[in-house]
Amino acid sequence: MANTRSDWEQRFQSLTLEGRAFIDGQYRSALSGETFECMSPVDGRFLANVASTDEADANATVIVARKAFESGIWARLAPAERKRILIRFSDLILANQEELALLETLDMGKPISDSMTIDIPATANAIRWSAEAIDKIYDEVAPTPHDQLGLITREPAGVVAAIVPWNFPLIMASWKFAPALAAGNSFILKPSEKSPLTAIRIAQLALDAGIPKGVFNVLPGLGHTVGKALALHMDVDVLAFTGSTAIAKQLLIYAGQSNMKRVWLEAGGKSPNVVFADAPDLRAAAQAAASAIAFNQGEVCTAGSRLLVERSIREQFIPLLVQALQAWKPGHALDPATTVGAVVDQRQMESVLRYIQIGKDQGAHLITGGNRTLEDTGGLYVEPAIFDGVTNAMTIAREEIFGSVLSLITFDTEQEALAIANDCIYGLAAGVWTSNLSKAHTFARGLRAGSVWVNQYDGGDMTAPFGGFKQSGNGRDKSLHAFDKYTELKATWIKL
Ligand code: NAD
């Protein structure tokens, strides 16, 4: 087992990096022969030439996926059998945990300990959870008159395409392919061009587990080429997306311009984390607030990027917060002790640094962090930053930075806190800290957000749905609700 940075470096030497698409059970180059270079943000090393698939590959893959679906080889398999195969897939992911963790870290920059303890186990768990559910879900019989039998059944939707981001490459993908495959669909995964390697690798594991060829396909490539082609395709039944709100809106247009495919969107966020003076434990609140912005380099859709603190405790709270953030130090992403890894690419790093400059220019007060660091590694590292004196009108409080930049906003009353929390185009998540039970409930009810955490931040597992209000999207990943996205509801009336 790899325990040190040099163990991981050694492990890297023995890796075979696959960059081709996976279509109909085989690795294939893009039909055009085009590739793009995949470089590591950890230290700038070259990783692989990756197939840059486009419309031609999308068309060919949809035909393959449709054929697999119509054949019934997967869609008509007994749910218990699909369960068995998917559990094997989950086990294979765990059996290859080190290799997948290394790929995830090198590809997108997150700390190796996170990849090992969070990303890969959570992916395996998402698959297992959906697999275990699928042979326990019953259809319905309608309360009909005596001479009728009304069956309400769920059927797999058909060909599902998923377009996913780079911040949790495998987890985001698994939240979609696990329920979609369990429900019997054929699946085409378009990973982010910034982090395609683990998606490509697990396609082989899916086949090894027994998922028939053509049922699980991976098309690496750019958004405006292969992503757009899938979104505009007349024979894709469902498009599941996680990514930015700007692209999510574009996908709704593509669906309208093509076949009205079902479009499920999990988009951006600018989540408020509200600390009242009567929070049960201010130190715990400060630690959670630090983790909410520094974990995964702040590249988290639910990052608690707006920290609302009641005026009467702010002087007490700020030192606790600064101290808590010190536990989050950028370090080489392959070092197992590292808690903050590299920013995904140069463009994203420049964007984060630009927002930090905007914060300063608009009069917010940078109290810690905010500099590029560890340049000698050849990687892209930025210190987590806290701005005090932020108003909710400032750019850094309104726009999703998707980096470790925290805006601290002070409030006086509960009413004011709720107004600020909801004054946002997004509605993905929110936190509230109070020991008053009634206030916790009323405040949580007032928040326009898909997930609310009370006296914690970022809790949850596969059992509850995850998704957003407002411009954070419409779909819900995880839980039994996720199956709704990948199935059609049919009513069959039988005259008795
Ligand atoms: P992005 O929107 O830039 O890209 C997401 C995916 O869309 C990528 O695979 C990209 O190639 C593809 N894409 C880009 N243009 C396209 C087009 N014209 N047609 C089809 N596909 C296209 O987002 P990103 O930078 O990869 O990820 C960060 C965003 O993801 C943030 O806004 C974050 O909040 C969001 N996110 C949301 C959730 C959630 O569950 N709500 C989870 C993780 C990330």
pLDDT in tens, 215-246: 999 999 999 999 999 999 999 999 999 999 99
Phi-psi map region of 245: left, alpha, beta (phi>0 left; psi -120 to 50 alpha): alpha
In the prediction, which pLDDT does 465 show?
A: 98
Strand order in the sheet with 451-454: 365-368, 385-388, 405-411, 306-310, 272-275, 429-433, 451-454
Ranges of CATH 3.40.605.10 domains, the chain: 5-267
Examine the pLDDT at 1 and tell me if it is beyond 90.
no
| Whole-number percent of the chain with pLDDT over 90 | 99
Ligand 1 probe mutation, 244, 250, 265, 349, most atoms within 8 A of CB: 244
What lines the ligand 1 site, CB under 6 Å? 163-167, 172, 190, 192-193, 222-224, 227-228, 231, 242-244, 247, 250, 266-269, 301, 400, 402, 428, 468, 472-473
Which residues have CB under 8 Å from 19's CB, separation 6+? 35, 38, 48, 49, 50, 51, 196, 197, 200, 220
Examine the pLDDT at 321 and tell me if it is beyond 90.
yes
Asked if 243 contacts 165 with a C-beta cutoff of 8 angstroms, the reply is: yes
Dist CA 393 CA 389 (whole Å): 12
In the prediction, which pLDDT does 38 show?
A: 98
Tell how far the Cα of 244 is from the centroid of ligand 1, in angstroms. 4
Tell how far the Cα of 165 is from the centroid of ligand 1, in angstroms. 5
Examine the pLDDT at 342 and tell me if it is beyond 90.
yes
Ranges of CATH 3.40.309.10 domains, the chain: 272-462
Examine the pLDDT at 2 and tell me if it is beyond 90.
no
Instruction: Kindly give the number of the ligand 1 atom that is closest to the alpha carbon of 473.
Output: 41
In the prediction, which pLDDT does 433 show?
A: 98
Tell how far the Cα of 102 is from the centroid of ligand 1, in angstroms. 23
Band (pLDDT 50/70/90 cuts) for residue 432 is very high
Residue type, 234: M
| Whole-number percent of the chain with pLDDT over 70 | 100
Examine the pLDDT at 61 and tell me if it is beyond 90.
yes
Instruction: Kindly give the number of the ligand 1 atom that is closest to the alpha carbon of 466.
Output: 40
Examine the pLDDT at 362 and tell me if it is beyond 90.
yes
Examine the pLDDT at 336 and tell me if it is beyond 90.
yes
Instruction: Kindly give the number of the ligand 1 atom that is closest to the alpha carbon of 194.
Output: 26
Per-residue model confidence as pLDDT tens digits over 254-288: 999 999 999 999 999 999 999 999 999 999 999 99
**H or E element in which residue 392 lies:** none
In the prediction, which pLDDT does 495 show?
A: 98
Which tokens hold the place of 303?
Answer: 């990052």
Asked if 219 contacts 231 with a C-beta cutoff of 8 angstroms, the reply is: no
Tell how far the Cα of 403 is from the centroid of ligand 1, in angstroms. 15
Ligand 1 probe mutation, 163, 428, 471, most atoms within 8 A of CB: 163
Asked if 266 is an active-site residue, the reply is: yes
Looking at the structure, give the CATH architecture of the domain made up of residues 272-462.
Answer: 3-Layer(aba) Sandwich (3.40)
Catalytic residue among 266, 299, 310, 400: 266
3-class secondary-structure state, position 473: strand
**Considering the domain 5-267 in this protein, what is its CATH number?**
3.40.605.10
Per-residue model confidence as pLDDT tens digits over 128-163: 999 999 999 999 999 999 999 999 999 999 999 999
292 burial (CB, 10 Å; 0-12 / 13-18 / 19+) is buried
* Mean pLDDT over each residue of the chain, to the nearest integer: 98
Average pLDDT over residues 394-411: 98
Tell how far the Cα of 192 is from the centroid of ligand 1, in angstroms. 8
Q: Whose CA is nearest to atom 42 of ligand 1?
A: 301
